[in-house]
Amino acid sequence: MLRADPEQILSQPALRQVALAHGEQVYQAQCASCHGANGTGDPVLGVPDLTAARHLYGEGRVAEVEEITRHGIRSADKRGFSLASMPAYGTPRPYKNEPLPSLTPGQIEDLTQYVLAFSGRGTDPAAAK
Ligand code: HEC
């Protein structure tokens, strides 16, 4: 197992069996409370679906999942993923890293319509415009 190319383990039946048996125990004990027993995540808690074809961070390669598991995301670990944070535009100081303007409640409503219109779900075209 240690000498195998991590990207190839799942395609080799003997290694796959060992990896999945050990991984399942650790996953159910450490990860399932947030990501769900089958990895489907929880949109209410903002926990991503690990079964999705598209990933928030990287492309779901073995090395990427290992790095995220080792160092976390915005976890205070310097090697963790923390490239992106979403500013709080409804507050007087939206972002601590650089000066950004606040938005008014009306701007946030119009902006929401504009963003929903990307996927055809807007309900107020005048606001989106
Ligand atoms: C306390 C809740 C919690 C636990 C426990 C947890 N995660 Fe996560 N995980 C999250 C959240 C929330 C995110 C998304 C963070 C973000 O977008 O900033 C995430 C993101 C991820 C991602 C990135 C997914 C993507 O789409 O790129 C992977 C991979 C991941 N977790 C694996 C694991 C593994 C493996 C474990 C167990 C060792 C685990 N997580 C335990 C909450 C958790």
pLDDT tens profile 5-14 = 989 999 999 9
Which tokens in the block code for residue 96?
A: 């601590």
Residue 2 clears pLDDT 90, i.e. is over it: no
The pLDDT of residue 3: 92
Residue 124 clears pLDDT 80, i.e. is over it: yes
Distance 6 CA to ligand 1 centre (A): 20
Q: Whose CA is nearest to atom 5 of ligand 1?
A: 31
- Name the residue of 47, 51, 85 to mutate for ligand 1: max ligand atoms within 8 A of Cβ: 47
Atom of ligand 1 nearest to the CA of 81: 18
Confidence band, pLDDT 50/70/90 cuts, at residue 50: very high
> 55 with 48: CB under 8 angstroms?
yes
Q: Which residue has the tokens 């926990």?
A: 47
Instruction: Tell me the whole-structure pTM to 2 decimals.
Output: 0.86
The full set of domain ranges for the chain reads 6-71+105-119
DSSP class of residue 101? -
Give domain 6-71+105-119's CATH number out of 3.40.190.10, 1.10.10.60, 3.30.450.20, 1.10.760.10.
1.10.760.10
Query: 12 or 97, which is more confident?
Result: 12
- CB atoms inside a 10 Å sphere around CB 118: 9
The pLDDT of residue 35: 97
Helix, strand, or coil (residue 11): helix
